[in-house]
Amino acid sequence: MTSLPTPPPVLNPARLRLIASCPDRVGIVARVATFLAERGASITEANHYHDTHSQWFFMRSEFEIGRGSPSAAEAHSPVSAAADDAALLARLAEEFRPIAEAFGMQWRITDAQQPRRVVILVSRFDHCLAHLLHRRKSGDLVFDLPCVISNHDDLRPLVEWYGVPFHHVPVPRDPAGKDAALKQTAALIDQAAPDTIVLARYMQIFPPWLCERYRDRIINIHHSFLPSFVGGRPYHQAEERGVKLIGATCHYVTEELDAGPIIEQDVVRIRHSDTIKDMMRLGKDVESAVLARGFRLHLEDRVLVHGHKTILFSE
């Protein structure tokens, strides 16, 4: 049997992701793999899942592909390379669209090397925000951070120490004032044009219109193991109930409070002698870790929303 010639390695390939879901049928993976192979793409990671309840199929393919146009190699300017990558991604999407339509897919192709634009919202508790700012500065989490928005001014020094713009939008308790403040907050978010919004212990409830505008792109950290202890003061609820485990839940934000699709959760054991203050102290590490893990899964396109649940294609 004649061995196929090994193609020369593609120098500095683009690294893209194709995420898709559709009613299950035979041939989906074969068709997508052929589409990629026909374009010289090398699949570096592939995940598939068949949901027996809904008979839907989910897939995530990460692949490397030559940037193609010689102009990109010749240009050597980051701006040109980024522009070429955008053009490559747009061309692939245009060519994939007929396949997606034939299978009835919900899909997207993303650039794994293009940092996401993220706006973080916070109130007074700083531990989750501080964790994300540190992980970004250390390079563990890669994302662009055009600004942080808060309904309190307390965390301005922390945020500005990291060289990130800080916007203070106080939210009064009266309904008219709250509505106006959340509209001002939304305007700042829109101005930043984020891919993702992270609520890092932001203690204001987003109105339905804002949840819809950024559906499946708003990530919250709730300081309980949902569905236990929804809403405000979950540690007080936990103390009253006498639970032996407290926890944290990272979930997408929907108009129904703390009921959005869950991305990541974890727990920590507590003792009968632990006070609410002890719980809040023990909870901080869990909240920070769960938010960072959930956020990373989202940044890497490893979370697929299916109804009120998620499918995770972890590494």
User: Hey, what are 136's tokens?
Assistant: 């970004």
140 flagged as catalytic: no
Q: Which helix (H) or strand (E) holds 245?
A: strand 245-252
Shortest spacing between CB 306 and ligand LMY7XDAE, in angstroms: 18
Taking CB under 6 A as the criterion, the residue among 28, 119, 211, 303 binding ligand LMY7XDAE is 211
The one among 96, 143, 202, 229 contacting ligand LMY7XDAE by CB under 6 A: 202
The number of residues that bind ligand LMY7XDAE (CB under 6 A) is: 17
CA distance 64 to 87: 15
CB of residue 177 vs ligand LMY7XDAE: minimum separation in angstroms?
Answer: 12
Q: Could you say which of 21, 220, 265, 310 contacts ligand LMY7XDAE (CB under 6 A)? A: 220
- The per-residue b/e assignment along 244-267, b for 16 or more CB within 10 angstroms, e otherwise, is eebbbbbbbbbeeebbbbbbbbbb
Sole binder of ligand LMY7XDAE in the list 56, 206, 225, 229 (CB under 6 A): 206
Half-sphere exposure for 37 (CA within 13 Å, toward CB):
6
- Locate 226 and state its tokens: 């949902």
User: Which residues on neighbouring strands pair with residue 121, listed in sequence order?
Assistant: 149, 199
| Candidates 60-68, 184-192, 196-204, 268-276; binding stretch for ligand LMY7XDAE (CB under 6 A) | 196-204
Q: Please, what is the minimum distance in Å from the beta carbon of residue 171 to ligand LMY7XDAE? A: 7
Tell me: does residue 144 bind ligand LMY7XDAE (CB under 6 A). Answer: no
Name which of 168, 107, 130 is nearest 304 in CA terms.
107
By CB under 6 A, residue 280 contacts ligand LMY7XDAE: no
232 φ, ψ to 5°?
Answer: -80, 155
Q: Applying CB under 6 A, which of residues 45, 195, 255, 266 lies at the interface with ligand LMY7XDAE? A: 255
Q: Which is nearer to ligand LMY7XDAE, 140 or 212 (CB)?
A: 212
Phi, psi of 209, deg, nearest 5: -65, -30
Q: Does 305 bind ligand LMY7XDAE (CB under 6 A)?
A: no
**Percent of the chain that is helix, strand, coil (3-state, to 5):** 35, 30, 35
Q: Which residues of this protein are in contact with ligand LMY7XDAE, per CB under 6 A?
A: 199, 202-206, 211, 220, 222, 231-232, 253-255, 257-258, 260
